[in-house]
Amino acid sequence: MKKLIFLALAALMMNACQGTVDPDQENPKDNTEQEGPNDDNKDPNEDTSDLEGAITLYAEREVIKADGAYSSKLSVILLDRHGEEHDVTEDVEIYYEGSDAPLTSSDFKTDKEGEYVLYAMRGFDISNSVTVKAVNGVPELPEDQDAANTAFAHRMLLLQHTGNECPNCPRLMDVLKRLSENETYKDLYYHVASHSYNESDAAYSSAAQTLSKAMNLTRNYPMLTYNLTTEDGFNEDEIKETILSLSKDKAEAGIAASSALDGDKVRVNISIKSAVDSKYRVAVWVLEDNIHSPQSGANASWQNMHSNCLRYMYGAEKTECIYGKTLGLVKAGESKDMIAAFDLDPKWVQENCKLMIVAVSANGDYSLANCTYCPIEGSVSYDYL
């Protein structure tokens, strides 16, 4: 049957998908992503027993090891009628669905795999629900050989927006190839190819499309963006100049990670060690190498084979947030870890896949602190200077 597509809805659609979702604007009730409670709310001496207001449950970690020891710290914040927040964690009962017993600790841990839907009760008030996933098979982090060291090498993120039917894209491919062979530049960055130009591209992904939307790209392909912010075209001199201007002698955070694969299931253990007091978000992306997709305008046969192609952004499926999951505050000299658990799509060639881990400073705005590749079924240590 012929059917007319509803053209007028294009206007409605714009509201739904334009730009990046600001994680700070997300509703904690959604249980999709939480920025975490404000540490300023914690006054251990405050008597909160008489306070009235809606309560919100937060979980420090969305994924924990199912080892009975690794925990996700739970906290409950009450919003009073004056709009002020109060930590009432000590004044509530926290349950998970299917259990009659309240937890006896606000550090949630378990030795049984599963998804635990947690909620808090304060008198007759019921909080939002928060899901914490407990998983097995989480690999150990690589040993930190220099625990006191916070002098981390810095890598910036070059994001190449491209597509195999983009006739001008080989020009940027040429530039990036030369950069990767140039001693001055090759160690200053990591590269991700985001194939969002055309869906028929074998390297196309909805994650790439999300990125292009989030970065508000037009059809001016190819495009190279830096650290998820600055845009540029493909003029080689400008690219070199921008790389040098954005490179840092020292990164504010280091990334260590280990990854394990069981069937299609990926478990990633990530630690962010910070040189300064800073809040972070952590993005985990799946990249695939050696994707064969004949390139329009190719001037060399290697351009028909594409690598570092973005396939998936952990946690971005619902929120379209390209900055990853909330890690929270990491104090100077300390580290904090998080776990990512997701499945590889059977359409991807597992042995050609690797991870890109991006640490983003989240202190009111978002800036890339550091990034690194991590092999699947492998690990990466802090890259000290």
Partner 1 sequence: MKASRFILAAAAALWTLAACNQVEEPKQEDPEKEDPKQEQEKPEAPQIQLAKTEVVLLSDGTAVEVAYMIDNPVEGQKLSVTNEAEWLTVGTNKARVLTFSAGVNETGEVRETQVVLSYEGAEDVTVEVSQEFFVSPLKVSVSGVTATSVTFSIVTSDPELTWIPMVTYKESFEYFETDDELFQNDLEYFDYLADIQDMTRAEFLEMMTAAGSMENVTFDGLQPSVNYVLYAYGVTTEGRRTTDIVSAPFTTDDPYEGDITFTFTAEENDYILDYTITPSHTGVPYYYGIEAWDTLEQWKVKHGGSLRDAIQAEEIDSAVNELLDLGMISGPEDYYLIYNESDVMDWGYFELKADTKYVIYAVKWDEQCRLTGPVSTYEHTSQPVSQSDNQLTLAVENITQSSADAVVTVTTDDPYVVMPVRKSEIEGMSDEEAVVYVTTKYDYIVSEYTFTGNISKNFSRMRPDTEYTILAFGYKAGVMTTSELDKADFVTLPAGNPADCTFEFKCDPDVDFAFIEVTPSDKGQFYHWLVYPSNYTAQDVKDYINLTIEYYYEGDVATFSSWELSLGDDSANAWDLYPATEYKVGAVVMDYDTGEFLSDVSFSEPFTTLEKVYADITFNFEYGPYYDLGELVKAGQEQYAPLISEGNALMPIKLTVDGKCSAFYFDIYQNDLMDEETYPDELFYAGLEYGCTYNSSIFVVKYDTPMTLVAMAYDYDGNVTKLYRDVLFFTQDGASPVKEFIDSQKKPGKSVEVKSAPASAELKVASKKLPENRLSQPQVQDKHEQAMEKVNALRREKLQEDLKAAAARKAKFIAR
Residues 185-214 that bind partner 1 (CB under 8 A): 199, 202, 204-206, 209
Q: What is the spatial distance between Cα 61 and Cα 337, in angstroms, rounded to a whole number?
A: 9
The only residue of 30, 52, 69, 105 in contact with partner 1, by rule CB under 8 A: 105
Q: What is the spatial distance between Cα 370 and Cα 40, in angstroms, rounded to a whole number?
A: 27
Using alpha carbons, select from 106, 310, 142, 126 the residue that is nearest to residue 228: 310
- The residue written with tokens 């097995």 in the block is 136
What does the CA dihedral 211, 216, 221, 226 come to, rounded to 10 degrees? -70
Residue closer to partner 1 (CB basis): 97 or 187: 97
| 3-class secondary-structure state, position 113 | coil
Q: What is the spatial distance between Cα 18 and Cα 285, in angstroms, rounded to a whole number?
A: 21
β-pairing, 125-135 vs 63-65, is parallel
The only residue of 25, 104, 145, 218 in contact with partner 1, by rule CB under 8 A: 104
Rounded least distance, CB 155 to partner 1, Å: 29
β-pairing, 278-288 vs 291-292, is unpaired
| 3-class secondary-structure state, position 203 | coil
Binding residues for partner 1, how many (CB under 8 A)?
A: 61
Residue closer to partner 1 (CB basis): 257 or 321: 321
Is 346 among the residues that bind partner 1 (CB under 8 A)? yes
The only residue of 58, 96, 280, 314 in contact with partner 1, by rule CB under 8 A: 96
From the list 19-27, 218-226, 299-307, 371-379, the region that binds partner 1 by CB under 8 A is: 299-307
Q: Which two tokens stand for residue 191?
A: 């590269």
The only residue of 55, 63, 77, 94 in contact with partner 1, by rule CB under 8 A: 94
Are 225 and 231 spatial neighbours (Cβ–Cβ below 8 Å)? yes
Cα-Cα-Cα-Cα dihedral sign, residues 88, 89, 93, 98: positive
Are 287 and 310 spatial neighbours (Cβ–Cβ below 8 Å)? yes
Residue closer to partner 1 (CB basis): 68 or 184: 68
Residue closer to partner 1 (CB basis): 105 or 220: 105
From the list 19-27, 33-41, 54-62, 100-108, the region that binds partner 1 by CB under 8 A is: 100-108
Rounded least distance, CB 359 to partner 1, Å: 27
Is 106 among the residues that bind partner 1 (CB under 8 A)? yes
Are 227 and 245 spatial neighbours (Cβ–Cβ below 8 Å)? no
Per-residue binding letters, 121-140, with partner 1 (x by CB under 8 A): x-xxxx--------------
Is 290 among the residues that bind partner 1 (CB under 8 A)? no
Give CB contacts under 8 A, 24+ apart, made by 229-236.
229/367, 229/368, 234/168, 234/171, 234/172, 234/175, 236/175, 236/178
Is 331 among the residues that bind partner 1 (CB under 8 A)? no
Is 171 among the residues that bind partner 1 (CB under 8 A)? no
Is 113 among the residues that bind partner 1 (CB under 8 A)? no
DSSP single-letter state for residue 301: G
Is 342 among the residues that bind partner 1 (CB under 8 A)? no
Is 148 among the residues that bind partner 1 (CB under 8 A)? no
Is 219 among the residues that bind partner 1 (CB under 8 A)? no
Residue closer to partner 1 (CB basis): 31 or 274: 31
Is 119 among the residues that bind partner 1 (CB under 8 A)? yes
Rounded least distance, CB 61 to partner 1, Å: 15
Is 50 among the residues that bind partner 1 (CB under 8 A)? no
Are 173 and 236 spatial neighbours (Cβ–Cβ below 8 Å)? no
Interface positions with partner 1 (CB under 8 A): 1-9, 12-13, 16-17, 68, 89-106, 108-112, 116, 119, 121, 123-126, 199, 202, 204-206, 209, 292, 294-295, 297-301, 304, 346-347
